[in-house]
Structure formats: C-alpha cells, structure tokens
A and B are shown apart, each in its own frame.
Chain A
Amino acid sequence: MAAHAQTQEAFFEARKIYMPQSTDGLGSTMVLGPDTKLGLIRDTSIQPFGSREEVFEIPVPAEGGEVSVHVDLSYQPRPGDVIPVHSVVRKVALR
C-alpha cells in the first residue's frame, strides 16, 4: 500500500505479507523450502470464510493537496515472480 502526493512522490509505503510460516522443528527461525519446513509457527494466510483487515493511519505532509492511495494485492509463488490480484487507486483531499 502506498500514498502519493501530487508530485507523484510516495510519502508512505507499507506492506503486509499473508502466508503460512514454518520452522524446521529445531528452533524458532522461519525456514523456506519443502525439504526444511515442518509444521507451522504462525499463519497469516487468509483462511476459509475468514478475512484479513488492515488499518493504515498515514500522516499527510504539510503541503497537503490531493493524495492518491494505491492498494495492491499480489500473489508471489516464487521470489520475484509477482502475479497481480487487485489494484485499487483512490484519490482524496483534505477539506
């Protein structure tokens, strides 16, 4: 998620990652790869009938003006391989 000023410069960026997270059963460090994963230590993936809600509070720069907010959801099966899912742009301005 990013917020851009009228100059198109991003003044705020935030990212949330949704995925099941596993260790190798030998410690608390998350591991990657089917040859090392065992069980789950945390699961932020989106569950059946469930939802994930996020709230971002973004202070606006002093110059104000119109701000465009970009919210993108993407699926990344492998590093660098990004499949876009949703892309939403909203423009807002303080009155």
Chain B
Amino acid sequence: MADRGFTKAGRSGAVFFLVLAILPWIAHGGTIHPPEIHSLSGLIERFDSSGCRECHEAIYRQWESSHHARPLMGLNDWIFLSKYLKEGALAVRSAREATRANFPCAKCHLPQLSLATDEAVKELAAAILKDDKETVRKLGITCLVCHQEKANVHHRPETDALYGSRELRDHGGKYSTVRQSPVMKDPVFCGQCHGQGPNLDTFPPVQCATLYGSYLHAYIPAGGTQTCQDCHMPHKDHSVRPNFNDRDETSARLAAALPMEVQVLAYTFHPAENVKTPMIVVRTRITSKAGHRVPDG
C-alpha cells in the first residue's frame, strides 16, 4: 500500500514536471529556441548572404533592388522605426531601455531578431536612435531568412541546411545540403510576414500589412486562383515588385492593376417647367485586377 502511495505521488510529480517542460516549448512556437545572438554585428553576420552572390548573381542583384534588401529603411531611405522608438507605445527614453518588446515590427521587418538577445536589441535601438543608416542598412530579409529561417511553417528549419524549391544533395559552400521547402511556392510562405491584420500576440498589438488576409478572405472567395508568387515573383524574379522607391514603375504597375474608365456627359437637366440646370455628369469606375485590397494598410 505504501508502495502504491509512493507511486501515485511519483506519478503526480512526473506529470507536473512534464507540464512545466511543455509550456516553454509551446511559448517558443513548437521548439525550444532561446535567443542566441548577443550582438548586432553577430546578427548581421549570422544572416549575411553575400556569399550567395558568387553563384546566384542574377537573383542576388534582383534581391538587392527589392524592399526585402532594405526592410528597415522606409521610402526614400529613412529609418522609419525611429519614429516609433521616440514616441508612442513603443517608445524608449534611451537605447539602454530597449528590449524585444519594443520591436513588434521586427516580426515581419526583421524576423531574425527573434534569435537576438536584448543585448543585441539595445544595439539596434542605439543605431536607430542615432540614425546610423550605414548599420541599419545591413539588416535585411536576406537569402538566409527566406531560404532558411522562414523556409518551413510546420517545424523549425535546420540551421545547417538551406531550403529551396527542390532538394540538392551537394550544394557546396557553407551549406552543403538544400532541402525542399514544402511551402515555398504557397502563398502561406509570403503570408508569414505580409499580414493578416492585427498582431495580437504582442503588447501593445500592432497592425501594419493586411495583404495576406485580404488575399485569403477577399481574393480567394471571389474565385481567385493565382498565388502571391505568380504575380510578384514571375519566373522566380527576386525583385518582388513593386519597388515603391521607383515611382515611375510603381505608377505603371498600379495603373495596370487598377484600370480606370471615365465617362463625361454634358447636358441640360430639365426636371420641371422653368427648371433648367446645365450640368456635366462625370462617371468614374476603377476596377481591381490585384489579388488583394489596394491600397493596403
């Protein structure tokens, strides 16, 4: 009997222990993944993808022209996060106060920041508050972000392999193995960052992009069949247009996506005796060919 009592207590203790172990497992999105990069330079180095250029020159140049290469630099090369670090719910009095909690925007604008400790985050905050563009420009959605860190949504990717649209056993270089990403051609791959609306998993919550949500809940129900990649990466074009810094190109792309008709009628409206109103009637109709709402936000 005493033996049974001990066993019951031991079993209860074991269950309690397992619950404790599972909780941090859940909190880190399915795997124990504590922040491991302690400096901003370390973060830049870890995700530096300049080595890819040697063999993937064309793709690398396309990427360099895209907003993925400059996710922390807003339109026309300004550090947009400085506004939010200086005023509002995410503001800090000094860089020393900054933690990852001050960077909910990094979920999409710098996903690799999830691997950085608060020590590295403080360095990032300092660079932003000093308007250190040279440093901030080095932080991007590099090849290793899409082809490794964000390559799989069903489990954490391996950090000693790359991921692509097909498997490759002898890739060469630092990463000899390329595994096939099952989601890379699926819109959910882009949806990891390109927004469904409110991000309620941070305090305070933030809402920036809603493109993927609009794609899911407006484009697909209306019968749309194309993927994000079909329109924004035709033939694997890594420039991922639009480039909002190229105003002429942006204008042309929007004009193609939103054709506009204008009809004008000039006549005299005469609804009753002694009532004549010369008037012009202008009718405009803008139609969308896009796979999501335009504009977004």
Q: What is the interface of chain A, defined by CB distance below 8 A to chain B?
A: 1, 3, 18-20, 22, 33-40, 43, 45-60, 64, 67, 69, 71, 73, 75, 77-78, 81, 83-86, 88, 90, 92-95
Contacts and interface: CB of A to CB of B under 8 A. Distances in A.
B218 A48 contact: yes
Contact of B286 (A34, A39, A52): A52
A77 B265 CA distance: 33
Counting chain B residues whose Cβ lies within 8 A of the other chain, the interface size class is 35 or more
Contacts of B12: none
A60 B265 CA distance: 12
Contacts of A18: 286, 294-295
A53 B262 CA distance: 10
**Top 6 A-B residue pairs of the complex, sorted by shortest distance between their CB atoms:** A48-B219, A34-B208, A92-B266, A37-B207, A60-B278, A45-B293
Given A35-B90, A94-B268, A47 B282 contact: no
B75 A19 contact: no
A13 to B, nearest CB: 12
Contact of A33 (B88, B258, B265): B88
B293 A67 contact: no
B288 to A, nearest CB: 4
Interface of A is mostly: strand
Interface stretch (B56-64, B116-124, B131-139, B244-252): B244-252
Nearest to A93: B266
Interface stretch (B44-52, B146-154, B156-164, B197-205): B197-205
B1 interface: no
User: Looking at A47, A54, A56, A85, which has the most chain B CB atoms within 10 Å of its CB?
Assistant: A85
B254 A85 contact: yes
B268 A34 contact: no
A54 B261 CA distance: 11
Contact of A49 (B208, B224, B244, B278): B224
Nearest to B252: A85
A34 B207 contact: yes
Given A22-B207, A83-B247, 16 more contacts: A3-B282, A19-B295, A35-B88, A35-B206, A46-B287, A49-B223, A49-B224, A50-B287, A54-B285, A57-B280, A60-B279, A67-B280, A75-B251, A81-B75, A85-B251, A86-B255
B93 interface: no
Interface string B68-100: 000000110000000010001110000000000
